[in-house]
Structure 1
């Protein structure tokens, strides 16, 4: 792969600073394009970046023998990278074991003219009308702006955006009551430093969907020569009715075609939306390279292979999902209040305001739980947010009226 961002000098330097005590990465003559760090006690070497990359590629030099007595573990090698086929030779004791770990999905757009051409090939006319309708309704109801950051950005602007990114992710995973490992202090600090530097180098980008000045959708990407890696994506759950994720994918497709990219890679993880949007699936494999003539190397390789086979088995049984929910609870995670989903609605074609109701400011923190039903009302009524007024019943504080120019709806919380 040309210009792999995950083996670049910037990525390597920042990763080692955060995760390897700034120790210099280790090079070997027998393998090119990838660097390693060493286990504290064993002759066991792991690729720089570990499992925080979206794809590692390498090339072997079979004439070198500095692999002897050692084991090398390389995370996340996508099969579509098309590495040279490994061949056992009589004059080399190097062996390779590949371990499947994840399914990956991508959009190969190399044979399409534009985003409409690709979407027409993937979806029915009904789906395409839905995409356009969702985008139109979003832009009708809110003051929407799309920003693709790929290059220059000031540090204060970036710091604000990355805090908003964190807040959106935190809100999303609190709602799911799940521990999200990227939000851990060390990892998030790593991303904050890395993304700023790689944005300036145009090896990273951020697609941001704004409602007024507030981000409601952010997608972090990394870039190779003609491949875009969608890395972390999040949307404000209050806007779920508008399917912002689909609009975001279309915007990324537009950018890829405008900039002559061939692939938009959803990366690892088997999700329904990836299957619908992608036209190619592939495997994420872990590669174990080891010296077959070394008893110690063979034992270490066998142990690591068995360990990751067990992890894959547990992941298939969804144990990892239970583990993350358990971590969320024991680490004091606070779930988002669920009363915004426990309500009934009633359309009021002829609502007349009376003294029984008072006008409220739904933007205040005390009423934030009303945003999801308000935005759902907007989706149906197709009118601007500025038209909306919300009233609370003075005697029944769990009853609200959402009123617009095209009708009203009563919301009663259980």
Structure 2
């Protein structure tokens, strides 16, 4: 890989600024493409970026021996990167341990001519009709546009967009009742500076699905010369019936084919949609390089390997998910995005609804009635028409609402 974005100078400098304000990065002659920091407590050298990359590529020079007495940990090495075989001469004491940590998924599109060919190979005709129908309904109901930002933009424009990105993620994970570590202040400030600078170098991109001028779906990507790495993706859960996530993947595929990319990488994380869309799974391994003639180096390597095997065991037991939910609850992160008072409701279809004096028309887009959006948009999905044609009424002195379209209506009663 010639232009790995996660070992670029801009990535290394911005990551170091946010997560290392003590030690200077260290380069070693025996390993090319990676710089390290020394973890003080254990004395292990860890790659800059640690686990905030989507894949590290490196080369080894076995004629160099500045690894003597040292131990190195390289996070997130995907097997599909096809590093040169580890084959040191018999005289070298350099050894390698690989510890599996995550499953990764990608779309290898190199043998397909366009996105339709790929989708035809992955999905049944029924699925393909569903994709087209969801997108048509989305565009029939709302003023939708798609923007792929892969170049420098004004700071003010970027700041506004990244704030909306943060808001969408916060809303999404509040709905899941779980903590999302990338939303912490330190990591989000890091991403904000990193992405703004990497956009100007065409090493990052943002796919944005707008409804009018408001983002309802955003995907952050990083780029090598022919690989797109999907880093963070989110859509507004109010529009979940329209399957915006699937439309985002199709738009990314279109862009990859238009720009002659070979791979669209979903990266780590085991989710159903990745199994369905990817045609190749791979391993994310942690690589531990060490000096086999140094007792201390061997001890450190074994300790690090055991530590990450234990983390993998706990992750497979879902301990990390329980921890994120616990963290979410104790931080009270649901406050601004969830409203439990509208969890219990019932539906009733209405024929020829004509509002009486007992009903008052309301602005369902107002802050006071934002809880109704998911119901309005679900109604629109089932009865496609332009959003501006929809009227919503509230029954006086009751927690009852009516969504009225041009042909059909629906009553929602909250208890």
TM-score, length basis structure 1: 0.98
Displacement of 1:94 after TM fit? 0.7
For residues 287 and 281 of structure 1, the distance between their equivalents in structure 2, rounded to whole angstroms, comes to 19
Could you give the per-residue CA deviations for residues 6-56 of structure 1, whole angstroms, max 9, x where no partner exists?
A: 000100110111111164310000100111001124431000000000000
Deviations 1:306-333 (CA, angstroms, capped at 9, x unpaired): 1100100000011000000111112222
Mapping of residues 5-404 of structure 1, within 5 Å:
5-21=5-21, 23-334=23-334, 336-396=338-398, 398-404=399-405
State the secondary structure of the residue aligned to 2:35.
strand
For residues 247-271 of structure 1, give each alpha carbon's deviation from its aligned partner in whole angstroms, at most 9, with x where no partner exists: 0000000000000000000000110
Q: What do residues 149-168 of structure 1 show as CA deviations (whole Å, max 9, x unaligned)?
A: 00021000000000000000
Does the C-alpha gap of structure 1 residues 110 and 83 become closer, same or farther in structure 2, counting only changes over 3 Å?
Answer: same
In structure 2, how many angstroms separate the alpha carbons of the residues matched to 1:173 and 1:410?
A: 29
- Partner of 2:84: helix, strand, or coil? coil
* 3-state DSSP of counterpart to 1:28: coil
Report deviation, 1:366: 1.2
TM-score by length of 2: 0.98
Aligned to 2:286, the other structure's residue is in SS state strand
- RMSD (Å), alpha carbons: 1.0
SS in 1 for 2:137: helix
3-state SS in 1 of match to 2:40 = coil
- Contact in 2 for aligned 1:390/1:401 (Cα 8 Å): yes
Which deviations, in whole Å up to 9, do the C-alpha atoms of 1:288-307 show, x marking residues without a partner? 00111111111111111111
Deviations 1:184-243 (A, max 9, x none): 111111000000000111000000000011100000000000000000000000000000
Q: Is the 8 A contact 2:152 2:196 kept in 1?
A: no
Provide the aligned length of Structure 1 versus Structure 2.
Answer: 413
- Partner Cα distance (2:385, 2:217) in 1: 21
1:341 CA drift (Å):
4.4
> For 2:74, what is the secondary structure of its paired residue?
strand
Q: Aligned equivalents of 1:233 and 1:11: distance in 2?
A: 20
In 1, are the aligned partners of 2:100 and 2:284 still within 8 Å (CA)?
yes
CA distance in structure 1 between the partners assigned to 2:341 and 2:230 by the alignment: 33
Aligned partners of 1:43, 1:355: CA distance in 2, in Å?
Answer: 76
Q: Distance in 2 between matches of 1:114 and 1:239?
A: 28
